[in-house]
Amino acid sequence: MSHERPDERLGWNSSLDAAWADLGDPRRPGRVSRLDRGWSTIVVHLDRPPVRARNIGADVAVGDWVIVSDDGERVDAVVPRFSAFTRRASFEGNRAVAHTIAANIDTVVLVHALTSPPNQRRLERELVLAFDSGATPVIVVTKADAVDDADATVATLEEVAVGVPVLRASGRTGEGVEQLRDLVPVGRTMALLGASGVGKSTLINALVGGELLRTSEVRENDQRGRHTTTACELVRLPGDDHGWLIDTPGVRAVSLWSSGHGIERAFRDVFDLSERCRFRDCKHEDEPGCAVHRAIELGRLDPRRLDAMKRLVAEEAALEAEQRAWEKAQDRRGVRKQRPR
Ligand SMILES: Nc1nc2c(ncn2[C@@H]2O[C@H](COP(=O)(O)OP(=O)(O)OP(=O)(O)O)[C@@H](O)[C@H]2O)c(=O)[nH]1
Ligand SMILES: [Mg+2]
Ligand SMILES: [Zn+2]
């Protein structure tokens, strides 16, 4: 295998150079474009067909840069990611397990449909994960063609989208598509995330200008999707000026897998207010001089937003406690193993 630097048009960049150097494996990495039951599809050269390799034991996500074994059979190593959208996997018994949906992404698009009532709580959670991913979040409200008055829904979502732009779009009429495409210049990657049926694949089809991805009707009664997309997929935008999109299957639950400052950034308004609380460690319960409660009394902050934030902080704390307990248990096991006989 060559020691050639991967193609920047595939999304390689200088932070990956450093990560690759740290990995200490000079073989040329390729990019995972799809995952199917233990198999990775990997693009190594833009102008050659992708290769397929097994990813036994390797923690791989779409968008990852991986090194394939010399015999081409399996993924040998994963180049550390510069960003990743990771949530807590839903059902893993008593232990928290991370599930990375998309890796090495520059922009995260949180897709909501105008045909359903705006869901502020869901958007808040998505924003926490998006900020934690290391990528830049953007909110897209789509199906703009299907409603008469989008303004109220957009305004409701904007209330909790502190500092994050909200774009209107339609996969049917092409509204907003050009603006979205401009967010993905050559060498960049944008992942689309959201509930099933909101129109992620339809939007990607509009962006690439063809019926590349399968889509299907939502349920008439509640506008819920049918989980049409079942695997993440890296899709190239046509033309030499544009980068990559990642389509993802709709996720029902957005559980936190947090380690960074996602909550602080997603709730910047509340954190800004709390700077003016009398006590530095104010919990915004019933302490005197609480600037957050003052803002609620003045109608400047929705009390539901404070509740939502507290719930997320508690969820994150519980997750961290769980992880610490698990690590401790692992350490004990490790010590036992190392004990001389
Ligand atoms: N009117 C209208 N319908 C749309 C638009 N975007 C998507 N739809 C419809 O909504 C349904 C679901 O769209 P999909 O693109 O399959 O949704 P998805 O988010 O990819 O769903 P999953 O793959 O299940 O996660 C389809 O019937 C689409 O035709 C839009 O902009 N306007
Ligand atoms: Mg889809
Ligand atoms: Zn306070």
pLDDT number for residue 213: 83
| Alpha-carbon span 284 to 270, nearest angstrom | 10
pLDDT digits (tens, 9 = 90+) for 40-77: 999 999 989 999 999 888 889 999 999 999 999 999 99
Concatenate the DSSP letters of all residues of 74-93 into one string.
BEEEEPPPS-EEEEE-S-BT
Q: Which is the closest atom of ligand 1 to the Cα of 195?
A: 25
Q: What is the CATH number of domain 8-78?
A: 2.30.30
Fold of 267-336: Ribonucleotide Reductase Protein R1; domain 1 (1.10.40)
Sign of CA dihedral 199, 202, 204, 207: negative
Q: How many residues does the chain have?
A: 341
- Closest ligand to Cα 284: 3
* pLDDT confidence tier of residue 340, bands split at 50, 70 and 90: very low
| Alpha-carbon span 269 to 266, nearest angstrom | 8
Residues of the chain with CATH 1.10.40.50: 267-336
Evaluate whether 68 touches 51 at the Cβ level (below 8 Å): yes
pLDDT digits (tens, 9 = 90+) for 221-252: 778 888 888 889 999 999 899 999 999 999 88
Q: What is the CATH number of domain 101-247?
A: 3.40.50.300
Residues of the chain with CATH 2.30.30: 8-78
Question: Is the Cβ atom of 137 under 6 angstroms away from ligand 1?
Answer: no
- Quote the ligand 3 centre to 320 CA distance (angstroms): 24
**DSSP helix/strand/coil, 36:** strand
pTM of the full structure: 0.93
Question: Is the Cβ atom of 30 under 6 angstroms away from ligand 1?
Answer: no
